[in-house]
Structure 1
Amino acid sequence: MSSGTLLYAQSGGVTAVINATASAVIQTARAHKIKVLAARNGILGALREDLIDTSKEPIAAIRALTHTPGGAFGSCRFKLKSLDEDRAKYERLLDVLRAHDVRWFLYNGGNDSADTALKMSKLATEFDYPLACIGVPKTIDNDLALTDCSPGFGSAAKYTAVSVREAALDVAAMADTSTKVFVYEAMGRHAGWLAASAGLAGHGPDEAPHLILFPERPFDEADFFARVKAVVERVGYCVVVASEGIQTADGSFVADAGGGVDSFGHSQLGGVASHLAGRVQHVLGYKVHWALPDYLQRSARHLASKTDLEHAQAVGKAAVEFALAGMNSVMPVIVRTSDAPYRWKIEAAPLSKIANREKKLPAGFLRRDGYSITEKARTYLEPLIRGEAPPPYGNDGLPKYVTLKNVPVARKLERWSEE
C-alpha cells in the first residue's frame, strides 16, 4: 500500500458527468488501496480544512455517482491570484495538505483550475514537499487547450442539439398563426462551442437552427434582422441560437446584465435571447418566443452522451494512475485518433500549456457568412454526442440519483480566517 492520501476537489460550474469522473477517481484509488479525501465546495473546502472522508461511502453509492448530475462534494467559483499576491492562501493550502498527509492533489475543473494546480505544484517544490498535482479536465464550454474535447461538453452539446430540434418542431407547427421566430440562448462567454453544437439539429439552410450567433464573429444587428426576415419569408419561421457571449464590433457584450463581475473577473452576462426577441418583435413585428436553458444545459444527466460519459470516466481513472506513477503538473487529455470510426485515447499534457489558455472555434468550423457551422465542424462534433447513457428510473417515474453522506474529517489546524 502506498503511503499518503489523495485529495480530490471540484471547481467551477458542474456538469452532467463530473460525478462520473469523481466516481472513477475514487474507484481507481480504492483499487490501489489509496484513501481519498474530497474538499467540500472545491478549493474553499481545502482552505477551510473542510474535508470529506470518501472511505465512509459504500461502493454502491460511489458507483451511483456515475449517473448522478451536479457536484457530489460541492464546487465553487473562487479564483486564487498569483503565488505572490495570494501567498498566504497557498501556504494555508500546503499546511492543510501536510496535516492530512496528502501526497496527490487532483483538481477537477477548467482553465483557472489548471492554473491553480500548476501553482500548487510549484509551491510544493519550493517547500520540498512531495506532492503530485494533477489537473482533471471539465467544462461544458469545451475551451480547454490541448484536449480534443472537455468532459461535460458532449452531454451539454447533446442537450442543446436535441432541445433545438424539438423546439423547432413546435415552432413549425404553430408558425402559420402564432410564433414566427424562436430564440434559444446557449452558454459560451468567449467560445461558441455550445452554440455550434446546435447546428447538429438540422441539415441545410431550411432546417433549424436557421441562424447561429457566435462570440467569434461580431454581431451586426441590421444584418441579423435582414437574415431573420429572409428566413421567415422563405421557410415560414426562423429558429435562432445565440451564444450568451456575442459582442458587437466594438467589443461590447450584447447581453451584459450590468451586474458587475464575478469572482473570476468576468462580466455577469444574461438575457441575450430575451434582448434579441424584444428587438426582433419591435423592428420586424413578428411574434417571438425565447428560451434560456441556463443550468439545464449542464445538469441534464438524463440526456447525457455515452461518449461524454466514457471520456469523464477515462480522465478520472487516468488522473489517479498518472499521479501514482509519479507524474506532476499534468492533465489527462483526450486525443482523437480517428473521425470515422471515432477513436480516441488519453495522454498526459503539461499544465503549463493549458492553464489560462482558451480554445475557440476554429475559423474553418464557421460557415463563410458566420451564421452556421461547416461540415468540418459537424465531423468534429457529431461523435461527441453519440450514444445514450440513461440513469436508472424509479417507480415514481423519476431518475434514481444518489446523495452521499459526506462524512467530515476531523480538523487538525486552527480555523482559517476568510477575511
Structure 2
Amino acid sequence: MAQHNAFYAQSGGVTAVINASACGVIETCRRHSDKIGKVYAGHNGIIGALTEDLIDVSQESDDTIAALRHTPGGAFGSCRYKLKDIETHRAQYERLIEVFKAHDIRYFFYNGGGDSADTCLKVSQLSEKMGYPLTAIHVPKTVDNDLPITDNSPGFGSVAKYIATSTQEAALDVASMCATSTQVFVLEVMGRHAGWIAAASALAGNGEGEPPHMVIFPELAFQRAQVMQRVDESVKKYGYCVIVVSEGAHYEDGTFLADAGNTDAFGHRQLGGVAPTLAGMIKQDLGYKYHWAVADYLQRAARHLASKTDVEQAYAVGQKAVELALDGKNAMMPTIKRVSDTPYEWRIEAAPLAEVANKEKFMPREYIREDGFGITEAGRRYLSPLIQGEDFPPFENGLPKVAKLDKVKVARKLPTFEL
C-alpha cells in the first residue's frame, strides 16, 4: 500500500476533549507510518484547507501530541464556517480537492458536529465525482450531545460533569444564604434544541427538595405561569429555588425566550441570555431576590474537571477514524455503542455519514419527568455513567499544564483563494 498524507481539522465550538480526539487521530497515524506519511492540520478548521493554510503536524514531538489529550480548546484552531451548497458553490469543494491533490492528501478527518458531518459527506461525494481517491471520515464531537446513532457525543460527558458539579456547589452556596440573601438562582447552560446539558444538572440531586428544583428543557414549551408557580412553591417549602435552564428555552410558538434577533454563520438564531430574562420574570412576578449565571465557555473548556469516560471515548473515536480509513471505509463516522449501564461498558462501532448529516437527537420524553421539570430514573441511568471517573491534567505552578504546539506551516503551492 502506497504512502499518502492525511488532513485533520476541527470544526465549530470546541470541547474539553476535542484535542483528545486529535491526539487519537495523530498518534494512530504515526503508528501506521508505512501507509500514512505526514499529517497536516487545517489552521482554523476547514478555512485552513480552503486557504491552503496548513500546519505540518509531523514537526510536533510525540510528547507534545500526547499532551493534547489533557489540553482544552482547539489546538489547531476551529471555525464556524459552513460550506455553501455544493450545487451553487461547487468552486469551494473543488478548491478543497485541489489543495488535497497538491499535498498528496488522501485521508480527510473532520472533527465536529452535525454541520461538519454534512461537509465531510459532500467532500467525499465530490472527490468521487472528480475521480480523486479521498477517504473522508467524520470524527464526532459536540457538547450538545445531539448527534444521531452514537449513544453519546464526545465532549458531552465532561460538560455534564461540570454542570452537575457547578449546580451542586452553587446550590450549597444559595442554601446557606437564602434566609437573608438570594432566594432564587438561575443557571443558564448550552443547548439550543436539545436539553441534554440541562438534564445533566439534575444529577446533582436525587431526593425531595434536593436542587436543582427545576430544569427547563428546550424540548418542552415554556409556560410562564406554571414556572412561576413552581418557583414560588419551592421558595416557600425549601427556602430557595435553584433553576437550570437551557439557552434554547422557548414559547409554544417556537420563539426563544432570549432571541437576540440575529443569526450566526450557520444560520442559527443568536440567543441573548435566557438566565437574565427568566430572572427578570421572577423579580417581576414574585419579587424574590435572585442571582443568575451563564456557564457559557466555562462549561466546554473545563478540562480540569473532565469525565474520564469522555476523555477515553474522545481518544477512541479519533483512533477508530484512522482505522476505518485504512480499512478502506469512506464517508463514515465512528460511533459509541453502549453495551450495558451497570457496569458501564461501551465499544466503538461506525455509521454511514448519510445517516448522520443534518440530523439532531433530542432528549427522549421518557427521560424527562412527567411534570417537565426534571429527569426520570431512565434519564439518570443514561446520564450517570457519562460523568464517571476523573482524568486530571498535570499541574505546574498551580495551573494545568497544556500542550504548546510549534504550528510549523506548510509551503503553499496554489494561487490564493478568496473565501
Instruction: Give the TM-score of the pair, scaled to structure 1.
Output: 0.98
Give unmatched runs, 5+ long, in structure 2.
none
Give SS of 1:295's match. helix
Corresponding residue SS for 2:363: coil
Q: Which residue of 2 aligns with 1:28?
A: 28
Q: How do 1:191-270 residues align onto structure 2 when only pairs under 5 Å count?
A: 191-258=194-261, 260-270=262-272
Deviation digits for residues 290-342 of structure 1 (CA, Å, limit 9, x no counterpart) = 01010001000000000000000000000001001110000000000111110
Which residue in the other structure is 1:177 paired with? 180
3-state DSSP of counterpart to 2:400: coil
Could you say which residue in structure 2 is the equivalent of 1:294?
Answer: 296
> Are residue 18 (structure 1) and residue 21 (structure 2) matched?
no
1:343 is aligned to 345
Write out aligned runs for 1:20-99 (5 A): 20-33=20-33, 34=36, 35-99=38-102
Cα distance, 1:205 vs. partner?
3.7
Task: Measure the CA separation in 1 of the matches of 2:195 and 2:374.
Answer: 11
Equivalent of residue 168 in structure 1, options 166, 171, 191: 171
Cα distance between partner residues in 1 of 2:181 and 2:87: 59
Is residue 358 from structure 1 mapped to residue 354 from structure 2 by the alignment? no
Give the 3-state SS of the residue equivalent to 1:41 in structure 2: coil
What is the one-letter code of the residue matched to 2:406? K
Q: Distance in 1 between matches of 2:403 and 2:117?
A: 28
Percent identical among aligned pairs is 60
2: CA distance between counterparts of 1:417 and 1:252? 36
Task: Find the aligned partners of 1:333 and 1:88 in 2 and give their Cα distance.
Answer: 31
Q: What SS does the corresponding residue of 2:123 show, helix, strand or coil?
A: helix
For residue 399 of structure 2, what is the aligned residue in structure 1?
398
What's the CA shift for 1:86? 1.8
- Partner in structure 1 of residue 3 of structure 2: 3
Number of matched pairs: 416
How far apart are 1:398 and its partner, in Å? Answer: 0.6
Q: Are residue 309 (structure 1) and residue 311 (structure 2) matched?
A: yes
What is the CA–CA distance in structure 2 between the aligned matches of 1:114 and 1:281, rounded to whole Å? 43
- In structure 2, what is the Cα distance between the partners aligned to 1:248 and 1:417? 41
- Matched with 1:415 is 416
Q: Distance in 2 between matches of 1:83 and 1:276?
A: 41
Structure 1 residue 270: Cα displacement: 2.8
When the two chains are superposed, the root-mean-square deviation of aligned CA atoms in Å is 0.8
Q: CA deviation at 1:283?
A: 1.4
Distance in 1 separating the partners of 2:156 and 2:208: 25
**3-state secondary structure, aligned to 1:122:** helix
| C-alpha separation in 1, matches of 2:88 and 2:251 | 34
Q: Give 1:2 deviation, angstroms.
A: 3.9
Instruction: Give the superposition deviation at 1:279.
Output: 1.3
1:81 Cα deviation after fit:
2.4
SS in 1 for 2:296: coil
State how far apart, in whole Å, the 2-side matches of 1:149 and 1:344 are. Answer: 11
3-state SS of the aligned residue for 2:395? Answer: coil
Q: Which residue identity does 2:320 align to in structure 1?
A: A
Q: 1:128 deviation in Å?
A: 1.0
Where does residue 331 of structure 2 map in the other structure? 329
Moved over 4 A (4+): none
Residues 65-113 of structure 1 show CA distances to partners (whole Å, capped at 9, x for unaligned) of: 1000000000000011221022010001110011011101000000010
Offset at residue 24 of structure 1 (A): 1.0
What SS does structure 2 have at the residue aligned with 1:333? strand
Find 2:277's aligned residue among 265, 275, 280: 275
How far apart in 2 are the matches of 1:126 and 1:415?
24
Q: Quick one: which of 143, 146, 150 aligns to 1:147?
A: 150
Post-superposition CA distance 1:345-379 (Å, at most 9, x none): 11110000000000000010000011100000000
1:391–1:121 Cα change, 3 Å: same
C-alpha deviation, 1:289, in angstroms: 0.3
Q: Secondary structure at the match of 2:132?
A: coil
Aligned equivalents of 1:133, 1:270: Cα separation in 2: 36
Distance in 1 (CA, whole Å) between partners of 2:345 and 2:331 is 26
1:384 — aligned with what? 386
Q: Deviations over 1:186-234 (max 9, x none)?
A: 1000000000000100012400000000000000111110110001111
d(CA) in 2 for partners of 1:305, 1:188: 19
- Mean alpha-carbon deviation: is it higher for 82-91 or for 187-196? 82-91
1:8, CA displacement in angstroms?
0.3
